[in-house]
Amino acid sequence: MKVLCIRHGEACDSLSEKGKIQIKQAADILKKHNIANNAMVFTSPLKRAVESAKIITDNCGFKKAEVVQWLNFEESSPDYALNQIKNLMRIHEKKFSTMIVISHAPLLEGLIEIFGNRSRIGNGEIFEIDIKTRTCRRLV
């Protein structure tokens, strides 16, 4: 199963116009990479992430995103988020081919750093994590 980490678009609280464009571009990247429409999508409960998730799901034909507290960087840690991702992968591996998590820079950067990638993640950027090979790469 692919795990794709997407940082929300530019925002103060709600997405700015630039943030909406960034997330539409992220949706285009997902379509370019033929991300199956049977992806499960999880998002932080913060407004900018929920709005980003809606744009992604609407543009890619995914089911509505599930809002989960463990993607809120104020209440979670990268290690805890990774454990949640692994648990969900075990439960849903036969049903879904891709897991998309939409969250915030502090949590996502910590998560990709676990896999040896010290990159910054910009608004609307996507990183693909391979849990089995313990690798991570930017999706463009």
The pLDDT tens digits of the residues spanning 30-84 come to 999 998 777 999 999 999 999 999 999 999 999 999 999 999 988 899 999 999 9
Distances (CA, A) of 44 to 5, 6, 70, 72: 12, 11, 7, 5
Model's pTM, two decimal places? 0.95
What does the domain layout of the chain look like in residue ranges?
2-139
Cα separation, 95 vs 113, in Å, equals 28
Name residues whose C-beta falls within 8 Å of residue 74's C-beta, 6 or more positions apart in sequence.
none
The pLDDT tens digits of the residues spanning 3-26 come to 999 999 999 989 999 999 999 999
Which residues are 5's β-sheet partners?
Answer: 101, 127
Dihedral of the CA atoms 129, 135, 138, 139 (nearest 10)?
A: -60
CATH for the stretch 2-139: 3.40.50.1240
